[in-house]
Amino acid sequence: MKSIIATISVVHGAANAARLLIDGAGSSSYRGGDALPRVVADLSMIATHILGYDYDVLMERNARWVLGLGLGPEDATIRL
C-alpha cells in the first residue's frame, strides 16, 4: 500500500510541476514544437489512467488505515 501511495504521489507531483512550468512559460511554450506541452499531457494521462488508481479514493483509504478505522462501507473487500 505504501509503495502505491508513494508512486501516485510522485507522479502527481511531477504532473503538477510540469503544469507549473507550462503556466509560467506562457503561450510561447505552445508555439514552435516545444516538448513541454507534450510532457504535461503525458504526465496527466499517466496520473489519471495508467496507474489505475483514483488519487482521492486511495488517499482516503490510506487515512482510514493510518487512523485505524479499517475499510469504509464503499470499499471492496477481497475474500479468499
CA dist 43 and 79 (Å) reads 34
What predicted TM-score, i.e. pTM, was given to this entire model? 0.56
| Run of H or E residues at 5 | helix 2-25
**Grid cell of 41 as nine digits:** 499531457
4-52 pLDDT, tens per residue? 778 778 888 888 898 898 888 877 777 777 788 888 888 888 877 766 6
Identify the CA nearest to 47 among candidates 1, 20, 7, 3.
7
Between 55 and 67, the higher pLDDT residue: 67
Contact 40, 19 (CB under 8 A): yes
pLDDT of 69 strictly over 80: yes
